[in-house]
Structure 1
């Protein structure tokens, strides 16, 4: 079947899956951290390591997926179906954890499955959208992560309040069941519209497949290296902020309702970011566009240094508005523009592996900073790595401009 506009049922269900893949399975951990610590115990540094375990699983999943989909490109729909269903069930299982080691095993499995789901859902959904609208479609899908954060923040009275000892368990179980429903819905619309069997003529060209090497595309300084490096440092920086922001607020005696509203503010602002960022990258497909959002996000992370709730909240909303969803969706869209169709899924998988590596390092570095210098310093340290990410995105934009000048001159 032919491609469709960015606004279609496949994109909608993909966005609902990203509520689970990003908002629930990955980022809800930082929101639930105070409740988990009260019931299971451990320092924030130790519990941050459990977050790292999740991203180790995420990295392992991306590294396994790339050769898998390269060898069996026609099996993506089947693989995606079971991955998304198992992700929802793993979240339900994690709600029954009684010890850190047990929770760590579930977090590893969830990371592995969410890595598969991220790449497969995006790849399948993007195949169904017209090329000129893929930035908007990517934005609509990624804003599902913002919706997940928004929903998680509204659960704060249930998950943060000391009187609700089991609240985080109930929330995670409900999120897992929602994930199973979203997986079934996505499977239904892709099968109904025939997207699962759609293949691009470009993918059937064996000479092109043999000539293009994924690693050369991603790791060449003249191609995509600066973009991938920016993605790596963004993963490092943003995960520190999202892991320790809520623990910082609760340590300041902020009521659980207000802390939840700050968290929800990120998600609410991110709903606009997904649409704005998608439109922007379609109109200005450049590393400069990506770098602009990252610079503003760096400023937002420094809101915690004010020591006031208003400054922290304003910074959080700024992050949600310009640099929470923007880097993943823009990286996704830029890769879609600059790699061959047949190599896109493999390239996205490897790019996601670099992103995951940054997220593995982030909680460890942030945990050390928290244990030595306090939660405020730990959260604010994310600005360092966000700034590096912005600089690398700018370097990629400059490289693009030089390449366009060479092509025009030639």
Structure 2
């Protein structure tokens, strides 16, 4: 079966699944923190560290998936089907947590399963897309995460308002049910459309198509090291912002409806980010393109420093518009463009592991900042790590440019 354009039913259902995989299962936690704290107790710093548990599970998943795929390369669809179903069930289960330990175990399970689902859904969907349109397809899929944030923001009056003590529980159950529907839809359209046979990418520079040492490829300074390092620091920075932004707004006395609208503003702007970022990376497949988006996001995060809600809200929308999805979708597209097809799933999984390392460290550092210096300083500290990510992406773009010049001289 031949490859398809970026806009097809498989891409649509993959995007709907990413509503669950990213927006619901992982990032909704930051929105629900005030409600969870009122019922389970603990400081925001302590509850924030539970996000570390989530991303430890995410890291374990990214490390376990490559050998699992290598052992059963023809069973990706089966593994993905089981993973997506279990992820939805785990979200429903987390709604019944009564202690930190129970919630931590559910968060670990959700992190593990979402790591599997992220790589497998992307890999299966991208296999069916024409090489020239994979950036757009990646953007369309990742914008599902933005839609998830948009929807969780609309839940705010029922999840963080003190008058609805258990609203966060009902919301997680509803999200889990939605996840079951999304998993069924993706499986149905995948079986209907079949699996495409993809030719080796012609746009990338030659690589050994035999046995590829993916670690040597990704950690080589002349290949992808700066890109992977940028992804690591982005994970470190953005998760601090997404974990503590809503608690910061609540601590400032912002009504739950307005706090939710600011959160939804990130998701709404991110819907355009997925499309804009995908088109940009298809047209300018460079680290410079990635760096530009992260720089603007750094400026947006810094709006918290002003202590003015207008600038904080503007900054949140900026983050959603130009940098929330930019690193994941652009890293996905750049790797898909430049690594051998046979090594793509493993390379994406390892890159995601570095992203997960950043997300593990981020909540710990953020918790220390919040407990020691307050929520405002903790949220603002994410700008530093985003700036480092932007600088590293620029270095990757510079290394790409030098390689292009060398290729032209040959």
- What TM-score do you get using the length of structure 2 for normalisation? 0.98
Unaligned runs of 5+ in 1: none
**Deviation by residue 1:288-345 (Cα, 9 ceiling, x = unmatched):** 0000000000000101111111010000000000000111000000000010000000
Unaligned runs of 5+ in 2: 202-206
The question of 1:368 aligning with 2:372 is answered no
Q: Report the equivalent of 1:176.
A: 176
* Counterpart-to-counterpart distance in 1, 2:13 and 2:316: 27
Q: Report the equivalent of 2:394.
A: 394
**Deviation by residue 1:11-30 (Cα, 9 ceiling, x = unmatched):** 00000000000000010000
Q: Shift of residue 209 of structure 1? A: 5.2
* Counterpart-to-counterpart distance in 2, 1:210 and 1:186: 32
C-alpha contact 2:30 2:246 (8 A) present in aligned 1: yes
Q: Report the equivalent of 2:98.
A: 98
Q: Report the equivalent of 2:4.
A: 4
Q: Report the equivalent of 1:80.
A: 80
* Counterpart-to-counterpart distance in 2, 1:69 and 1:299: 40
**Deviation by residue 1:126-152 (Cα, 9 ceiling, x = unmatched):** 000000000000000000000000000
* Counterpart-to-counterpart distance in 2, 1:60 and 1:137: 27
The question of 1:52 aligning with 2:45 is answered no
Q: Report the equivalent of 2:281.
A: 281
Give SS of 1:320's match. helix
* Counterpart-to-counterpart distance in 1, 2:12 and 2:37: 35
Give SS of 1:14's match. helix
Q: Report the equivalent of 2:111.
A: 111
Q: Report the equivalent of 1:308.
A: 308
* Counterpart-to-counterpart distance in 1, 2:360 and 2:197: 35
C-alpha contact 2:45 2:370 (8 A) present in aligned 1: yes
Q: Report the equivalent of 1:71.
A: 71
* Counterpart-to-counterpart distance in 2, 1:276 and 1:200: 25
Q: Report the equivalent of 2:407.
A: 407
**Deviation by residue 1:97-155 (Cα, 9 ceiling, x = unmatched):** 00010000000000000000000000000000000000000000000000000000000
* Counterpart-to-counterpart distance in 1, 2:210 and 2:290: 31
Q: Report the equivalent of 2:326.
A: 326
Q: Report the equivalent of 2:150.
A: 150
The question of 1:272 aligning with 2:272 is answered yes
Q: Shift of residue 202 of structure 1? A: 4.8
* Counterpart-to-counterpart distance in 2, 1:85 and 1:28: 19
* Counterpart-to-counterpart distance in 1, 2:142 and 2:210: 32
Q: Shift of residue 70 of structure 1? A: 2.0
Give SS of 1:96's match. coil
Q: Shift of residue 66 of structure 1? A: 1.2
Q: Report the equivalent of 2:233.
A: 233
The question of 1:317 aligning with 2:317 is answered yes
* Counterpart-to-counterpart distance in 2, 1:200 and 1:335: 15
Q: Shift of residue 201 of structure 1? A: 5.4
* Counterpart-to-counterpart distance in 2, 1:285 and 1:246: 34
**Deviation by residue 1:222-279 (Cα, 9 ceiling, x = unmatched):** 1000000000000000000000000000000000000000000000000000000000
* Counterpart-to-counterpart distance in 1, 2:168 and 2:371: 24
* Counterpart-to-counterpart distance in 2, 1:56 and 1:352: 12
Superposed structure 1 runs of 4+ greater than 2 Å apart: 198-203, 207-211
Q: Report the equivalent of 2:141.
A: 141
Q: Report the equivalent of 2:251.
A: 251
* Counterpart-to-counterpart distance in 2, 1:340 and 1:350: 15
* Counterpart-to-counterpart distance in 2, 1:30 and 1:75: 34
**RMSD over equivalenced CA pairs, Å:** 1.1
Q: Shift of residue 208 of structure 1? A: 4.7
C-alpha contact 2:287 2:398 (8 A) present in aligned 1: yes
The question of 1:164 aligning with 2:170 is answered no
Q: Shift of residue 210 of structure 1? A: 3.9
Q: Shift of residue 212 of structure 1? A: 1.7
Q: Report the equivalent of 2:384.
A: 384
Give SS of 1:143's match. helix
* Counterpart-to-counterpart distance in 1, 2:259 and 2:200: 49
Q: Shift of residue 389 of structure 1? A: 0.1
- What TM-score do you get using the length of structure 1 for normalisation? 0.98
* Counterpart-to-counterpart distance in 1, 2:281 and 2:305: 31
